[in-house]
Structure 1
């Protein structure tokens, strides 16, 4: 997207965390002339009261068992040791949540906020440590997220290993520096991109082993059917739910109908352009509570 003044804008700011190994392998395979990502650096976390915490570069510290390293090396500037200690019972929940169907069934019945209350996490610790984490990772407050979703997200981004929360940032516009070179390479291999086109329905085979053989599309008021060997639904849950509602071919399958039970969250991205450079103490300065 380009603004009226010719500035490039993206929907939000995208970090590349240490667990994004598939993306890092993709970037390596593109053989770009320069690394599009920055190095690792400390991150500051702010509330309306000012700087609340500093997240260090964990890979530069002595490696400790996961969880212990994050607790010792993260600098919470305004929380008392007692508040921080109140989070210790969550270790049991993290150890029990092994991503199995049984663990999901158990922790999906309670919100993450209620789980913290039951385990005795102090209100201040929850509001200044865990609520910002949930808002950043799942784009919804903890009382609207299941404990299973929150524990799974926290494990992936923070607790899988000590370096999981180390993050890099794109040195410029992601579209220009990553996606456009990738698109050009795919075009050179014969890939054709059909833009400004809406999928309106699907052709399928009859009988057992039903498969999608075509995608009906509209573009500029014209309809066409694209033959397909495989179809990848690379869309959000709300968009896929809409496709299912409008497509009898999909709606007759329970695995697609269940997408209607998922609720998405609308995220508003606002980009401010300043008239001068403003020095910031950290390369990433997430804010919450404003």
Structure 2
């Protein structure tokens, strides 16, 4: 461990690799503790000060991401930055299949509030258009499994070893509920079908719909511009002006150099995306890896000393990733969709992918001209994203747009057949999202690695005793993990600020505590199941 008794220790320098929510969370916690920080990302401008645009000058964003009710740390950041009212109200959403409207998700906070899960059941009792009540009731076993999930680390890992599909079948969930409701939710929530995702991570996601507070599933959106422009830009500006943060955009880290003698990070090698020029950043005291499996794999393959010192990072780099396609369409007329947020379900045209579409002209009505690059608006603007999209990715841009306009969107409203596409943009993001496959939990990177000067951040990172209530692939968890990565370096005295007396950890706001009946259910289940385990018995769906 470092000697914290040494006098006049210099200000530490930390390199943060990755400019998403995790990277900015780490940069914030470290900068505000007085640490010298360099943030590096392959994007030309990870600060959000130069918005992403199409060739015709219209705005574009990679993926449309919502902000759930229980995002206390992002909400706190928004207030701290004095960003103002940047969100829409909480919105309804709709699920569409080839048969038409399947279900809607209401704004749960607008219904009378009842204890969970009764409140969720009452609020949605009329929202399923085709799914019989007996199929909906078959989810009861899954609610019990959610209570059982955190009984112990051993039990959690057993659930993680199961696929969601296997657990659904063992619990007696009906085929219709799986295929018409759970499958589309997983394809757009965890970006893979139930056969390919961990049952444990699936239950963490579904917890917000089924067992958390009635209004925990309520979601809202950025009402103008992009997330980067509304939040990353003012945050980066503040950190650069007040704390001298350095940001290297259009740059990738190609190698982590770890000293074989001290087992500590010594330098990082970087390369310009545009010029391919290679440089070395020396005097690096710590590194935050705020990257996914694809980025980690690239780094580990070129960092032999680091790979040897931290084999858990090599294991994490071997995990799979998911292809994503983001599209945006500008139409010549307005299509009066009743719901601004929509999910595609069971369409043959999806080729196994999950699909969503958002009516941006509704969500960003107050800034509609900006959606058209400040030209005169002509009609609806749609953002549509596809996940698990490796089959669709090989299609041409025009084929993807035609599939949307002819096969998918007209199910939601026939006027789409008459609309003409004035402009469009299609962008592919291969291996861009973490894949939480069965058994992957033990291979996911830990917050603190075997190299004490390297920490990990991101929604896929195992946070140990710093685990936050926000679960799964979400912005809040990524941001909190970034904060905690910085806090870890400070808490363990790996790094020092310019004023050591003020080198303090960043606060982290917990989500709302579970309701009493949920807590009681977990406690009683643990008491009973610990006794049963003592006799060598186990739950039938966990019996290997």
**Could you tell me the TM-score, scaled by structure 1's length?**
0.92
1:286: Cα distance to partner? 2.2
Aligned residue in 2 for 1:84: 136
Q: What is the aligned length?
A: 288
SS at match of 1:72: helix
Alpha-carbon separation, structure 1, partners of 2:112 and 2:284:
51
Bigger Rg, which one: 2
Matches within 5 A, 1:160-239: 160-174=212-226, 175-189=228-242, 190-207=244-261, 210-219=263-272, 220-226=275-281, 227-239=283-295
Higher strand share: 2
Matches within 5 A, 1:64-83: 64-74=114-124, 75-83=127-135
Aligned residue in 2 for 1:28: 79
1:199: Cα distance to partner? 0.4
Matches within 5 A, 1:53-202: 53-74=103-124, 75-98=127-150, 100-156=152-208, 159-174=211-226, 175-189=228-242, 190-202=244-256
Q: Structure 2: state its 5+ residue gaps.
A: 1-51, 348-544
Q: Residues 131-182 of structure 1, C-alpha deviation per residue, up to 9 Å, x if partnerless?
A: 1111111100000112112112222565332221100100122232222222
**Are the aligned partners of 2:131 and 2:177 in contact in 1 as well (CA < 8 Å)?**
yes
Q: Structure 1: state its 5+ residue gaps.
A: none
Give RMSD over aligned pairs: 1.8
Seen in structure 2, the aligned counterparts of structure 1 residues 113 and 6 have a Cα distance that, compared at 3 Å, is same
Alpha-carbon separation, structure 1, partners of 2:151 and 2:299:
29
**Could you tell me the TM-score, scaled by structure 2's length?**
0.51
SS at match of 2:88: coil
Alpha-carbon separation, structure 2, partners of 1:228 and 1:153:
37
Alpha-carbon separation, structure 2, partners of 1:37 and 1:203:
42
Alpha-carbon separation, structure 1, partners of 2:99 and 2:151:
36
Q: Residues 23-48 of structure 1, C-alpha deviation per residue, up to 9 Å, x if partnerless?
A: 1111111112x311111122222222
**Are the aligned partners of 1:205 and 1:213 in contact in 2 as well (CA < 8 Å)?**
yes
